[in-house]
A and B are shown apart, each in its own frame.
Chain A
Amino acid sequence: MSSRFLKPTLRIYWAKELRSLLRDRNIVVYGLLLPLFLYPLLLFALSEVRALTAGMRERMEPAIAVADLPELETRLHEVVPPPRTFPLTGGAGEALASGVADLVIARSHGNGRLIVSHDSSSGPSRIALERFAPVIEKWRRQAESTALARATGWVERHEPTFVDTSEKTDSTRILLATLLPLILIVMCTFGATWPAIELTAGERERSTAETTFLLPLTRQDVALGKTLAVTSAAFVTLCVHLFAMLIAAGPLIAQVRGGTASIPSLAWQSLPLVLCFGLLLSLVFGTLFMLAGSYAKTFREAQAFVTPLQLLMMLPAILTLLPSATLDATTAWIPIFNAGLAFRAALLGDIDVQATATTLLSLSLCALLCFRTTVRRLSDTSFALGFADSDGIREKWS
Chain B
Amino acid sequence: MSDEFPDSTLRTIGAGSEIDAGKRPHSIDGLESYAVMSIGLTKIFRRGERDEGLVAVRDVSFACSKGEVFGLLGPNGAGKTTTLRMLSTVLRPTIGTARVAGSDVRRAPQHVRASIGFLSGNTRLYPRLSVRETLEFFGRLHGFEGSELDGRVAHVIDALDMHEFADRRLERLSTGMAQKANIGRTLLHDPPVLVLDEPTSGLDVLGAAAMIDFVAEMRQRGKTVIFSTHVLTEAERLCDRIGILNNGRLHAVGSLDELRIRTGKEFLDQIFLSLVREDDASGGSDR
A: which residues have CB within 8 A of B? 9, 12-13, 16, 19-20, 23-24, 206-208, 210-211, 213-218, 381, 384-385, 387-393, 395, 397-398
Contact with A along B79-104 (1 / 0, CB 8 A): 00000010011111010000000000
Q: Evaluate contact between A395 and B88: CB separation under 8 angstroms.
A: no
* Other 16 A-B pairs with CB < 8 A, given A207-B121, A388-B45: A12-B137, A16-B126, A19-B128, A19-B129, A19-B133, A20-B126, A210-B120, A213-B90, A214-B89, A214-B123, A385-B91, A389-B92, A390-B45, A390-B47, A391-B44, A392-B46
Q: Evaluate contact between A216 and B110: CB separation under 8 angstroms.
A: yes
Q: Evaluate contact between B122 and A210: CB separation under 8 angstroms.
A: yes
Q: Evaluate contact between A218 and B110: CB separation under 8 angstroms.
A: yes
Q: Evaluate contact between A398 and B123: CB separation under 8 angstroms.
A: no
Task: Please list the 9 inter-chain residue pairs (A to B) with the smallest Cβ-Cβ separation, ordered nearest first.
Answer: A216-B114, A391-B94, A23-B128, A211-B123, A207-B124, A20-B128, A210-B122, A397-B92, A216-B113
Q: Evaluate contact between A392 and B49: CB separation under 8 angstroms.
A: yes
CB-defined contacts of B92 to chain A, threshold 8 Å? 381, 389, 391, 393, 395, 397
Contact with A along B35-73 (1 / 0, CB 8 A): 000000001111111010100000000000000000000
Tell which of A13, A24, A211, A218 touches B125, judged by Cβ atoms closer than 8 Å: A211
B: which residues have CB within 8 A of A? 21-22, 43-49, 51, 53, 85, 88-92, 94, 109-111, 113-114, 118, 120-129, 133, 137-138, 140-142, 169
Q: A216-B110, A389-B91 are in contact. Are A207 and B122 (CB under 8 A)?
A: yes
Q: Evaluate contact between B137 and A387: CB separation under 8 angstroms.
A: no
User: How distant is the Cα of A398 from the Cα of B121 in the complex, in angstroms?
Assistant: 23
Tell which of A12, A13, A216, A381 touches B91, judged by Cβ atoms closer than 8 Å: A381
Q: Evaluate contact between B53 and A391: CB separation under 8 angstroms.
A: yes
Q: Evaluate contact between A16 and B125: CB separation under 8 angstroms.
A: no
Q: Evaluate contact between A12 and B140: CB separation under 8 angstroms.
A: yes
CB-defined contacts of B122 to chain A, threshold 8 Å? 207, 210
CB-defined contacts of A206 to chain B, threshold 8 Å? 124, 127
Tell which of B44, B89, B121, B129 touches A20, judged by Cβ atoms closer than 8 Å: B129
Q: Evaluate contact between B113 and A13: CB separation under 8 angstroms.
A: no
Shortest distance between the CB of B164 and any CB in chain A (Å): 21
CB-defined contacts of B140 to chain A, threshold 8 Å? 12
Tell which of B47, B85, B120 touches A388, judged by Cβ atoms closer than 8 Å: B47
CB-defined contacts of B142 to chain A, threshold 8 Å? 216
User: How distant is the Cα of A385 from the Cα of B90 in the complex, in angstroms?
Assistant: 9
Shortest distance between the CB of B25 and any CB in chain A (Å): 11
A-B contact pairs, 8 of them (CB 8 A): A24-B128, A208-B125, A213-B90, A216-B110, A381-B92, A384-B90, A391-B21, A397-B92
Shortest distance between the CB of A6 and any CB in chain B (Å): 14
CB-defined contacts of A23 to chain B, threshold 8 Å? 128, 169
Shortest distance between the CB of B120 and any CB in chain A (Å): 7
Q: Evaluate contact between B129 and A16: CB separation under 8 angstroms.
A: yes
Tell which of A12, A207, A387, A393 touches B123, judged by Cβ atoms closer than 8 Å: A207
User: How distant is the Cα of A13 from the Cα of B142 in the complex, in angstroms?
Assistant: 12
CB-defined contacts of A389 to chain B, threshold 8 Å? 45, 91-92
Overall SS of chain B's interface: loop
CB-defined contacts of A12 to chain B, threshold 8 Å? 137, 140-141
Of chain B, the residue at the smallest CB distance from A13 is: B141
Q: Evaluate contact between A387 and B45: CB separation under 8 angstroms.
A: yes
Q: Evaluate contact between A217 and B53: CB separation under 8 angstroms.
A: no
Tell which of A13, A214, A216, A392 touches B90, judged by Cβ atoms closer than 8 Å: A214
Q: Evaluate contact between B128 and A216: CB separation under 8 angstroms.
A: no
Shortest distance between the CB of A382 and any CB in chain B (Å): 10
User: How distant is the Cα of A385 from the Cα of B92 in the complex, in angstroms?
Assistant: 13
Shortest distance between the CB of A15 and any CB in chain B (Å): 9
Q: A385-B90, A390-B46 are in contact. Are A214 and B109 (CB under 8 A)?
A: no
CB-defined contacts of B90 to chain A, threshold 8 Å? 210, 213-214, 381, 384-385
Shortest distance between the CB of B114 and any CB in chain A (Å): 4
User: How distant is the Cα of A353 from the Cα of B61 in the complex, in angstroms?
Assistant: 65
Q: Which of B22, B48, B85, B126 gathers most chain A CB within 10 Å?
A: B126
Q: Which of A16, A388, A397 gathers most chain B CB within 10 Å?
A: A16
User: How distant is the Cα of A215 from the Cα of B48 in the complex, in angstroms?
Assistant: 29
Q: Evaluate contact between B137 and A16: CB separation under 8 angstroms.
A: yes
CB-defined contacts of B114 to chain A, threshold 8 Å? 216
CB-defined contacts of A393 to chain B, threshold 8 Å? 21-22, 92, 94
Q: Evaluate contact between B141 and A216: CB separation under 8 angstroms.
A: yes
User: How distant is the Cα of A12 from the Cα of B139 in the complex, in angstroms?
Assistant: 10
CB-defined contacts of B125 to chain A, threshold 8 Å? 208, 211
User: How distant is the Cα of A392 from the Cα of B95 in the complex, in angstroms?
Assistant: 11
CB-defined contacts of A391 to chain B, threshold 8 Å? 21, 43-46, 53, 92, 94
CB-defined contacts of A207 to chain B, threshold 8 Å? 121-124
Q: Evaluate contact between A398 and B110: CB separation under 8 angstroms.
A: yes
Q: Evaluate contact between B141 and A208: CB separation under 8 angstroms.
A: no
CB-defined contacts of B124 to chain A, threshold 8 Å? 206-208, 211
Shortest distance between the CB of B123 and any CB in chain A (Å): 4
User: How distant is the Cα of A390 from the Cα of B54 in the complex, in angstroms?
Assistant: 11
Of chain B, the residue at the smallest CB distance from A215 is: B141
Tell which of A24, A217, A381, A384 touches B141, judged by Cβ atoms closer than 8 Å: A217
User: How distant is the Cα of A12 from the Cα of B143 in the complex, in angstroms?
Assistant: 10
Q: Evaluate contact between A397 and B141: CB separation under 8 angstroms.
A: no
Of chain A, the residue at the smallest CB distance from B197 is: A210
User: How distant is the Cα of A15 from the Cα of B129 in the complex, in angstroms?
Assistant: 12
Of chain A, the residue at the smallest CB distance from B145 is: A8
CB-defined contacts of A215 to chain B, threshold 8 Å? 113, 138, 141
CB-defined contacts of A217 to chain B, threshold 8 Å? 110, 113, 141
Shortest distance between the CB of B96 and any CB in chain A (Å): 12
Q: Evaluate contact between B129 and A9: CB separation under 8 angstroms.
A: no
Q: Which of B22, B49, B141 gathers most chain A CB within 10 Å?
A: B141
CB-defined contacts of B123 to chain A, threshold 8 Å? 207-208, 210-211, 214
Of chain B, the residue at the smallest CB distance from A214 is: B118
Shortest distance between the CB of A59 and any CB in chain B (Å): 54
Shortest distance between the CB of B41 and any CB in chain A (Å): 12
